[in-house]
Structure 1
Amino acid sequence: MGVLKRAKRSGWWVAGVKDPETIAEHSFRVGLIASVLAMMEGADPARAALLGLWHDTQETRVGDIPHIGRRYLDAAKNETVTADQLSAAHPAVRAGGQRIVEEYENGDSPEVVCARDADRLECLVQAVEYREQGYANVQEWIDSSLAGLRTASAKALADAALNMSSVEWQRTYLR
């Protein structure tokens, strides 16, 4: 997973962000947000966090392909990449990792919904933070992330993120 600490989220370059977050930074916050959403939604926070932490691990093999790039590339399914990544792992790790990715990609449990909402909400929050730093071309990420949210809790947190500065957010929600 050291690759994820070094690999930048490439979609932000399209918006002009010169030094975007890494995939690991994104995944870390997705895991935390997934746990918070699960608590708010009455789901299992540990399971939601686990799903969120594993959701982009395939990018150690295929990189972070921005949405526009997906028009032109036929990337392997995440389940296939995970199977290859874990082929030499301990059998319990191999089976567990494959189950986690399979559930995230194909499931619809409350934990999966929270993890997917966390992925979108993290992108929205990151876009808002970049906008605060002067990057004006992030509205598309905000709009598409907002449109994909399913839970009432994620929608409420998105509304707060869109209507407060990051400093206000910290003062309000980190008491």
Structure 2
Amino acid sequence: MNDDHHAAGAMSFIFEAGVLKRAARTGWWFVGVKHPESIADHSFRTALIGMMLAAMEGADPARVSMLCVLHDTQETRITDIPHIARRYLTAAPNTAVTADQVAACPPAVANLINAAVAEYEAGETPEAIVARDADKLECLVQAVEYRHQGIDNVQRWIDSSRAALKTASAHRLADAALTGEPLAWLTPRPPPA
């Protein structure tokens, strides 16, 4: 394959990833969120949380952020399947979906993305453990925000997300999310003495 073909393949994946900006996280519809955040919104904050957790846990923040950015890219093809639907549906493994998505990319790009998704899915490296915690913690934080906006029936998301956390730092951040105010950052704080 020539460089132009690989560039077109890479751009195809970039365009496909753009769908995540428009694709909603569907599970929130069950509790009355009419316009839930997009998959891209979720992935952005997951990467931010992952970077912070990595620093707190001694993992590689750049690697964790990359795993977080890529963890739901398969949902352009298989959608965001709500937890309840997983009882009835079987989707292709994320690694297989990713391999199809990046097959026409330059080999270095395809290898990088395939390896990152495989690492995340295996969940064994410190970076994958932290990235998975970031995913669950972002869901918990989103549930807390929705609760503060008047959506009452979010406790199951909080409970299941919290139960899935592995690292001590993620547990500490979850505690802070559950006792914090999502808009406290708007209140000016006095400068440090």
TM-score by length of 1: 0.95
User: 1:118 corresponds to which residue?
Assistant: 134
1:62 aligns with 2:78: yes
* Count of aligned pairs between the two proteins: 173
Larger Rg: 2
Instruction: Measure, in 1, the Cα distance between the counterparts of 2:92 and 2:52.
Output: 31
C-alpha distance in 2, partners of 1:27/1:164?
Answer: 22
**Displacement of 1:99:** 0.3
Whether 1:165 and 2:181 are equivalent positions in the alignment is yes
Match 1:97 to one of 113, 117, 120:
113
- Give the fraction of aligned pairs with identical amino acids, expressed as a percent: 62
Q: Which secondary structure does the structure 1 equivalent of 2:112 belong to?
A: helix
Instruction: Look up the match of 2:155.
Output: 139
Instruction: Give the corresponding residue for 1:154.
Output: 170
RMSD after superposition: 1.4
Aligned AA for 2:175? Answer: D
Return the TM-score normalized by structure 2. Answer: 0.87
Do the aligned partners of 2:47 and 2:68 also contact (CA within 8 Å) in 1? Answer: yes
The alpha-carbon deviation at position 107 of structure 1 amounts to 3.5
Q: What's the CA shift for 1:168?
A: 2.8
Cα distance in 2, alignment partners of residues 34 and 149 from structure 1: 12
Unaligned runs of 5+ in 2: 1-16
**Which segments of structure 1 move beyond 2 Å, counting only runs of 4 or more?**
167-172
Cα distance in structure 1, aligned partners of 2:144 and 2:123: 29
Residue by residue over 1:23-50, the C-alpha shift from the partner in whole angstroms, topping out at 9 and shown as x without a partner, is 0000000001001000000111000111
